[in-house]
Amino acid sequence: MHIAIIGAGAAGCFCAIELAQRLPHAVISVYERAGKPLAKVAVTGGGRCNLTNTFEGVRSMESAYPHGARLMKRLLREFSHDDVCRWFEQAGVRLVAQEDHCVFPVSQDAMEIVHTLTRLMRQHGVRLFTHARVTRIAHADDGTYSIGMADGSTVQAQCVVVTTGGSPKLSGLDMLQPLSLEVVPPAPSLFSLCLPNHPLCQLMGTVVDEVTASIPGTKFRASGPLLLTHWGLSGPAILRLSSYAARYLQECDYQSRLALNWFGDASEAEVLALLQDLWQRHPQKQLQSVYPPCLNSRLWHCLLELCQQRPAARWSELHPKHLVRLSAMLSHHVLSVSGKNRFKEEFVTCGGVALSNVAPSTLESRRHAGLYFAGEVLDVDAVTGGFNLQAAWTMGYVVAKSIAAARLLP
């Protein structure tokens, strides 16, 4: 019994360990095109590896998994974030949950996760082949699989698990062509947005704790902290928006209008009431010296100028209609986005192997028995916060359990 796993990333390595524990007599091989396994995991979370999330702040599965929420809801019942934490702690990794619900190793070192997974693969006798790029997977009439390698060799397996991760280009899925699967064209997700030459870029490093970013005329909106950078807008609110609107933004070549509510989800009337309060309480103070607590003085100064108000003017000089105009702008500040940028090199791909190809409870191909998929290669992607790795662990687990259940049947 030979089980071939294609790709030694988070999903592939996790699946290999789970399989080896469940099927100790099977030969389990992991084929990795790079020189070492888990290269991406090593750089996750800025080298700290945000390996999961407590899900305490998750209002709906769709808000964490813009693509594949229904599938993830089902799979997480099999192997949840609590299970992931228990699994790694049993393997000797101490974990800590931050205030923002992101879970990291206490060591704050992604290499601890890499070393733990590679050690367990070794201990359980998983065979790891590096510099082994798979170019072709074909299903033979006798039900076995023939796996073509870039060096011209071929490997046979009774069971294949594809865990090759996200690919920004469709050509990354070429190896699957003989299997005639439905594929959703890939699109980048989790990126920051450029505002070329906009005055806000001069405020790089400024963080606003809670904004709502939306794309006018669409349903795409996301809330959370905003970070101003020297190229434009970033931070959780923008990364989340980029994830929800990944395909829309790709289609408009990242040229779009974007609206910011600098007061989170406050309505225009609520913002107006807040400004009227300042106006009544501080008539003799300059606009630049008294401002809403959620903004810092540099940002407030900049926003006043963008709204054509003199920062040195007194609050009493503001005509009520100026207050209305200012509150309209602060709650719906429309900006022109032109281009995207990677956030600390972090991005994932949405799209990939369509979910219609797989049985949702096992992740086995509906058309090819013994062929499974796990991780980012499937059309599932998440916002930042540890949800993408959680998906990789969960799917790796479910595939291992499904294969073992199928093989152990009399």
Which residue sits closest to ligand FAD, CB atoms considered? Answer: 9
Q: Is 304 among the residues that bind ligand FAD (CB under 6 A)?
A: no
Return the residue matching tokens 């090819």: 368
Distance (Å) of CA 201 to CA 238, 242, 358: 15, 19, 45
Closer residue to ligand FAD in complex, CB, 256/384: 384
> How far is 257 from 217, CA to CA, in rounded Å?
9
Question: Closest separation between CB of residue 72 and ligand FAD, Å?
Answer: 13
> How far is 96 from 109, CA to CA, in rounded Å?
12
By CB under 6 A, what part of segment 135-164 binds ligand FAD? Answer: 163-164
Burial of 62 (0-12, 13-18, 19+ CB in 10 A): middle
Q: Using the rule CB under 6 A, which residue among 2, 33, 257, 322 binds ligand FAD?
A: 33
Q: Using the rule CB under 6 A, which residue among 26, 43, 274, 324 binds ligand FAD?
A: 43
Q: Which helix (H) or strand (E) holds 390?
A: helix 387-408
Instruction: Using the rule CB under 6 A, give the single segment among 116-124, 180-188, 374-382, 402-410 that binds ligand FAD.
Output: 374-382
Tokens encoding 249 = 């933004």
Backbone angles phi, psi at 167, to 5 degrees: -135, 120
Q: Using the rule CB under 6 A, which residue among 3, 4, 5, 12 binds ligand FAD?
A: 12
By CB under 6 A, what part of segment 313-372 binds ligand FAD? Answer: 345-348
Distance (Å) of CA 326 to CA 276, 307, 323: 11, 7, 5
Closer residue to ligand FAD in complex, CB, 166/232: 166
Question: Closest separation between CB of residue 320 and ligand FAD, Å?
Answer: 48
Q: Is 10 among the residues that bind ligand FAD (CB under 6 A)?
A: yes
Q: Is 68 among the residues that bind ligand FAD (CB under 6 A)?
A: no
Q: Which helix (H) or strand (E) holds 43?
A: helix 39-43
> How far is 392 from 12, CA to CA, in rounded Å?
8
Question: Closest separation between CB of residue 165 and ligand FAD, Å?
Answer: 3
Distance (Å) of CA 20 to CA 121, 123, 289: 8, 10, 65
Query: Residue 308: helix, strand or coil by DSSP?
Result: coil
Dmax (CA) for the chain in angstroms is 87
Going by the DSSP 8-state scheme, the letter that residue 203 receives in this structure is G
Write the binding mask 105 to 134 for ligand FAD: x where contact by CB under 6 A, - elsewhere. Answer: ----------------------------xx
Closer residue to ligand FAD in complex, CB, 112/376: 376
Q: Using the rule CB under 6 A, which residue among 203, 260, 371, 389 binds ligand FAD?
A: 389
Q: Is 386 among the residues that bind ligand FAD (CB under 6 A)?
A: yes
Binding site for ligand FAD (CB under 6 A): 6-12, 31-34, 39-41, 43-45, 49-50, 133-134, 163-165, 175, 345-348, 375-377, 386-389, 392
